[in-house]
Amino acid sequence: MILLSNPRTRRRRLGVVAAAGGLLAALLTAQPAVATPDPGDGPAQEQKVSESTRAEVREALADGEIPGQNEIVHSDNIEHVANIPKDVLPGTNSDLAFQGRYAFAGNYDGFRIFDIGNPRSPKTVAQVLCPGSQNDISVSGNLLFLSTDSSRSDSSCNSTTQPATEKSSWEGMKVFDISDKTNPKYVAAVETACGSHTHTLVPERRNVYVYVSSYSPNAAYPDCRPPHDGISVIKVPRYAPEKAAVVGFPVLFPGEGPDGGGNPGAPTNPGVSKTTGCHDITVLPGKDLAAGACMGDGILFSIADPEHPKVIDQVQDNVNFAFWHSATFNQKADKVIFTDELGGGSGATCNAEIGPNRGADGIYDIVGKGDKRKLVFRSYFKIPRHQANTENCVAHNGSLIPVRGRDLMVQAWYQGGVSVWDFTDSAHPKEIAYFDRGPLTTDTIRSAGSWSAYYYNGYIYSNEMARGFDVLKINDRRTDPARWVKLRELNVQTQPDYFD
């Protein structure tokens, strides 16, 4: 383990020459990984790279420009306190949720429950085999929710992959009873149009509303035909989850044409995804507000009536954003961070040729009041370390670190590792800490790295796609006050009011 006192001490410059060839051209036109149907439930296929790229990686390793294969490096204000490798679920690790002393970790083959009562020594409580990419996960009370975004033969946990062109194929939401954490019980399934790539909870006392994000319709798919210009809303009664059902499909992008009024993508906007649904939504229930990352668009909308969300503002960035992936509010709800998943999460986009403004975060201020609020762009943020061209790296899932008077965030960057950064000044964001590993492979691109990195009750938890569940502790005067904020439950896409 190497301790670095300055994030820029070991600046990673790899990729300047190699990316200038065919790899860069491919990335600039790459579309995100197809959501529906998924060809299977395993990780993305390995991508071959040129011999010149492999030679450059070997040279950079020898020169110390990048860490050695799987070598851990981090700033001196972060401590790596635990790693729990994969066990009986071999698939790709995905999102995380938290409740009390438990962490719930999604995996393309199911989910795993950890006891994190002692964060330095997490213990596995249960592992549930239930294949269905990408198994986006969240919890509320005694219920656990799991997204299925690959066409399955049926809704059971014993299903197999089946083409989306077959009417009998199933995709959607699964619901488990987790009142006994050692023995979760599958209690409900709800099919949704185009499946469920991600989902977001809007909890109430008696019901939980689930906003289901999905995309990529096709006229050949009986249950996923265009236009697909909105989200599915599921109502789940807490004490009768078996009655869960879709109660609406609000249109978020009304307009003329086969796909509504979202971004048309190419050829009008080359290199930008056509909007055919949303990828991810973050809600701030305490303020009746939501932000949607919807492929070619970012939106701000009201959820005062959770069954009938209403769009307040819609923005695009047709210069630097390829795929609007996720959103995070600051605590005051006067800023939103949107992420751009350039290359669909499987490309090497953290290099000099791609630059600091693509595959990055976009910071937007929210100005105005009520239904007249607008999203105003302020700046981009991207990790300052260049990665190898065999490392998939792009902005991905993160959460706030709750400190009064500051806007701090921890964020996953796939093989770019975990970054902690300050956007209090939305025009001048800066990184304050990081954790990273050297490349998983040095001769191909194989998907790995931190899928989600979230702050929960004093620690940072990261679900590493290939290398397991990581626990980090940050020791920094800027983040120290967050240790006093204790939550009973955290689904990052359902942001709490930390100080109310």
How many whole angstroms separate alpha carbon 310 and alpha carbon 289? Answer: 10
Q: What is the pTM of this model?
A: 0.92
* CB-CB neighbours of 406 under 10 Å: 17
Predicted pLDDT of residue 23: 35
> With the CA atoms of 476, 478, 479 and 484 taken in that order, what torsion angle do they form, in degrees rounded to the nearest 10?
110
Predicted pLDDT of residue 44: 59
Predicted pLDDT of residue 466: 96
Predicted pLDDT of residue 229: 95
Q: What is the pLDDT along the chain (500 residues), one digit of tens a residue?
A: 223 333 333 334 333 333 333 333 333 333 333 333 333 344 556 777 777 777 777 777 777 778 899 999 999 999 999 999 999 999 999 999 999 999 999 999 999 999 999 999 999 999 999 999 999 999 999 999 999 999 999 999 999 999 999 999 999 999 999 999 999 999 999 999 999 999 999 999 999 999 999 999 999 999 999 999 999 999 999 999 999 999 999 999 998 777 789 999 999 999 999 999 999 999 999 999 999 999 999 999 999 999 999 999 999 999 999 999 999 999 999 999 999 999 999 999 999 899 999 999 999 999 999 999 999 999 999 999 999 999 999 999 999 999 999 999 999 999 999 999 999 999 999 999 999 999 999 998 999 999 999 999 999 999 999 999 999 999 999 999 999 999 999 999 999 999 87
| Per-residue burial over 208-238, b = 16 or more CB atoms within 10 Å of its CB, e = otherwise | bbbbbbbbbbbeebebbebbbbbbbbbbbee
Contact, 213 vs 269, CB < 8 A? Answer: no
The CATH architecture annotation of domain 2-490 reads 7 Propeller (2.130)
- Per-domain boundaries in the chain: 2-490
Predicted pLDDT of residue 49: 74
Predicted pLDDT of residue 45: 64
Identity of the residue numbered 117? G
Written as one string, the DSSP assignment of 190-219 is EE-TT--SEEEEEE-SSEEEEEEE-----T
For residue 321, give Cα distances in angstroms to 204, 382, 394. Answer: 34, 13, 12
How many whole angstroms separate alpha carbon 338 and alpha carbon 281? Answer: 10
Predicted pLDDT of residue 178: 98
Predicted pLDDT of residue 63: 74
